[in-house]
Amino acid sequence: MIQSVQRAVAILRELAGGGRRLGVTELAERLGVAKPTVHAMLRTLEAEGLVVQDRESSRYALGPGLVLLGNAYLDGHELRTRSLTWADQLAVQTGEAVWVGVLAGDHVLIVHHAFRPEGAVQILEVGASIPWNTCALGKAIVAFEAEAVEAGLLGGELAVLTGASVTSPERLAEQLAAVRQRGYAVEDQESALGEAAIAAPVVDRSGQIAGAVGVVGPVERLLAEGRLEEFAVAVRETARNLSRDLGAGRGLLRRAAG
């Protein structure tokens, strides 16, 4: 590991998670690094457009260069590229919004969002990061990940976003086992009150879990009696089609289908 790179990444993460601009002194205290070192790194990051400094307060925030890097990541992401048509078709079929996500540490990163065909103004969620244990996408992915990955996530910090968020490792392990059996995951107001989601895993040509696709919408529509299974069938079929597009073989598809 290169220490200077680690420290630069730590600075960016602090600025991303703070929700406000941070000064050199505060960053130095948070990182446990000398102020001159932090100042030099901020100057370098600023020169590259990765951070910007407010001239009045002298505090720093993330810069526009990160947007370019993020867009380049999304544009070159195979799952996102392959999912565009399938996600749109699923949105039309179900009448609900569709998210495609990948596991990034202990969060799920939304790489594609197909809007609900009809309804009120909707906010694009591409780039949103959601704790894995609070969303159907995360549970669909982790349920089919390697045992070591699952164990590490269950043993790590489990986020709380609503009163329905599950933070018991034992209960989550039971939920993941159920996901493996039926081939899809369900979220019931665990990341946002009033919202539910149903998601299924997507497999790539190497047999690895590439991510997950799912529908997101009001709990009274998605989890209504008789509708949940209907949505689940549509989501699983979309996940299978997307997996085929990524080169997954039939045996791999059966594994992810539960």
**3-state secondary structure (DSSP) of residue 93:** helix
As beta bridge partners, residue 203 has 209
- pLDDT above 90 coverage of the chain, percent: 53
Q: Which amino acid is at 1?
A: M
Helix (H) or strand (E) holding 40: helix 35-47
Average pLDDT over residues 125-142: 92
In this structure, are 98 and 61 located in the same domain? no
Average pLDDT over residues 95-99: 95
Q: How far apart are CA 40 and CA 185, in angstroms?
A: 46
Which residues form the domain of 93? 76-257
CATH code for the domain in which residue 186 is found: 3.30.450.40
Provide the mean pLDDT of the chain. Answer: 88
The pLDDT tens digits of the residues spanning 35-92 come to: 889 889 889 888 888 888 888 888 898 888 877 777 666 666 788 888 889 999 999 9
In this structure, are 17 and 114 located in the same domain? no
In this structure, are 94 and 219 located in the same domain? yes
Q: Which amino acid is at 112?
A: H
In this structure, are 63 and 83 located in the same domain? no
Average pLDDT over residues 124-131: 84
Question: Pick from 51, 68, 85: which residue ends a domain?
Answer: 68
pTM: 0.78
Question: Pick from 68, 91, 112: which residue ends a domain?
Answer: 68
Is residue 82 within 8 A of residue 65, CB to CB? The reply is no
In this structure, are 88 and 48 located in the same domain? no
Structural domains counted in the chain: 2
Instruction: Give Cα separations from 74 to 43, 67, 109, 206, 216 (angstroms).
Output: 27, 11, 11, 21, 21
Question: Pick from 28, 47, 68: which residue ends a domain?
Answer: 68
Is residue 192 within 8 A of residue 153, CB to CB? The reply is no
Helix (H) or strand (E) holding 5: helix 3-18
Structure token digits, residue 135: 């969303």
To the nearest 10°, the Cα dihedral for 156, 159, 163, 165? -70
